[in-house]
Amino acid sequence: MSSHVTDQFEEINRDAQNYTFAPIQVTPSGSARCVTKAWSVSRRENSSAKPRIVEEIDGTLRCGCLEDINRGMPCRHIQSITGGAFVAAQFHSHHHRIEEAEICPVAAPLDDECDFSGNSSSFELDDRAQHATDKIDTADAGQDD
C-alpha cells in the first residue's frame, strides 16, 4: 500500500472510533443476496442520525454508504465493526503493491542493420517514411552553415 492509502486508512480508523454498532437480523432479501451477518452502525454523539447497515457478503463487509466501493477501501462504518483491523480483502486490488513485475526482454540491435549514417542495409522505408525523410533533406539543403 502507498503511504497515501495508509494515511487515509489511519484517518478512517480514527473516525471509526466515533461510531457504535449492534448486530441485527439478516432479512430474507439479504439472505437471497448471500448476506450472512448484518450490523446497524450509528454515531456515538448523534443518535438521531440515520444508522448505516453493514453486511457480510461472501466474507467481505459491505456498507450502505457505498464509500467502501467508491474508494476501494473500508469505510469508517466497516472499521468500527472490525475494531480498526487491517483486512487486505477489504481493499480493491489497485491499492495493492505489485510484488513481482514481469520484465520483458528487449532485443539488442544488430550492428549490421544500421551504420548510423542514415543508410540502412537490411530494411526499406515505406512511402510515408521516405516522404518525411525527403522533406527533411530538402529543408537541410536550404540552410546555410
First-to-last C-alpha distance (Å) of the chain: 57
Q: What pLDDT was estimated at residue 47?
A: 72
Single-letter amino acid code for the residue at 132: A
Highest mean pLDDT among 57-61, 94-98, 106-110, 126-130: 57-61
Residue 9's pLDDT band (boundaries 50, 70, 90)? confident
12: which 3 cell numbers? 478512517
Q: What pLDDT was estimated at residue 20?
A: 92
Q: Does residue 36 register a pLDDT over 60?
A: yes
3: which 3 cell numbers? 503511504
108: which 3 cell numbers? 539488442
Dump pLDDT digits (tens) for 43-79.
988 878 899 999 999 989 999 999 988 888 899 999 9
Q: What phi-psi label fits residue 79: left (phi over 0), alpha (psi between -120 and 50 degrees) or beta?
A: alpha
Does the pTM exceed 0.85?
Answer: no
The overall average pLDDT reported for the chain is 77
Q: Does residue 102 register a pLDDT over 90?
A: no
Strands (E), 5-131: 19-24, 35-43, 52-57, 60-63
User: Which has more pLDDT, 74 or 115?
Assistant: 74
Q: What pLDDT was estimated at residue 4?
A: 79
Q: How far is CA 5 from the centre of its chain?
A: 10
Name beta bridge partners: 73: none
Residue in 115, 139, 135 with CA at minimum distance from that of residue 127: 135
Q: Does residue 141 register a pLDDT over 90?
A: no
Q: What pLDDT was estimated at residue 51?
A: 93
Q: What pLDDT was estimated at residue 64?
A: 93
Separation of alpha carbons 35 and 19, rounded Å = 22
Separation of alpha carbons 83 and 66, rounded Å = 19
